[in-house]
Amino acid sequence: MASGVKVADQVKEIYNAMKLVKTEDNQMERMRLVIFHIDGSCIDVEKIFREKDLEKEDDVYKFVLSQLKADECRYILYDCHFETKESKKEELVFFLWAPDTAPIKLKMNYASSKEALRKILTGIKHEVQLNDKTDCGDRAAFGERLGKNVIKIEGHDVK
């Protein structure tokens, strides 16, 4: 079901910048978390958190979860840093946050508009729909969503 909601041009620009990180770029300016919202009939950027904004956070994963508000739906693009037994990885995770406590009309609008955003976010490996903070599970459950043998997320052990 299409909602008729469009995606702002800057969303694609931000996505392209996040997926193509260059080693010569200033790493403190790197986008790590972008929150999108539906503004009228357009999916647009609400807030961008760069590496420099998160450097004082003890746990970036917990910070991401803290951005989920009980009565607001949002789309989130998260540059997740994790480790497997074999290597360190950085992969983009796309969340649809549609909490059970949000108004039904809002949840339906976000659910029906997700496809328009997904068409822009080509190649996203991890997509997660969350309807309640328990859907996030603990760090171990989130690690399983990222793949096999994940041992750390944002520098913290999954167990």
The per-residue pLDDT for range 18-40, each reduced to its tens digit, is: 998 777 778 899 999 999 999 99
What is the total count of domains within the chain?
Answer: 1
Instruction: Give CA separation, 142 vs 24, 35, 44, 47, 89, in Å.
Output: 31, 19, 26, 23, 15
Which residue in 84, 74, 100, 75 sits closest to 157, CA to CA?
A: 84
The per-residue pLDDT for range 70-100, each reduced to its tens digit, is: 899 999 999 999 999 999 999 999 999 999 9
151 dihedral zone (left: phi>0; alpha: psi -120 to 50; beta): alpha
Mean pLDDT of the residues in the chain: 92
> For residue 83, which phi and psi values (nearest 5 degrees)?
-125, 140
Instruction: Give CA separation, 30 vs 17, 52, 118, 127, 132, in Å.
Output: 9, 8, 22, 21, 29
Look at residue 12 and tell me if it is in a domain.
yes
Tell me, what's the pLDDT at 89?
95
Look at residue 97 and tell me if it is in a domain.
yes
Look at residue 115 and tell me if it is in a domain.
yes
- 52 vs 136, more confident: 52
CA atoms within 13 A on the CB side of 80: 30
Look at residue 84 and tell me if it is in a domain.
yes
Tell me, what's the pLDDT at 9?
94
**Domain assignment of residue 11, given as a range:** 6-157
Tell me, what's the pLDDT at 84?
95
Q: Is the pTM here over 0.85, yes or no?
A: yes
Look at residue 55 and tell me if it is in a domain.
yes
Look at residue 74 and tell me if it is in a domain.
yes
Determine the angle formed by the axes of helices 104-120 and 9-19, rounding to 10 degrees.
Answer: 60
Residue 26: CATH number of its domain: 3.40.20.10
The H or E element spanning position 29 is none
- Per-residue pLDDT for 108 more than 70? yes
Q: Which of the four pLDDT bands, split at 50, 70 and 90, describes residue 2?
A: low
SS3 115: helix
Look at residue 1 and tell me if it is in a domain.
no
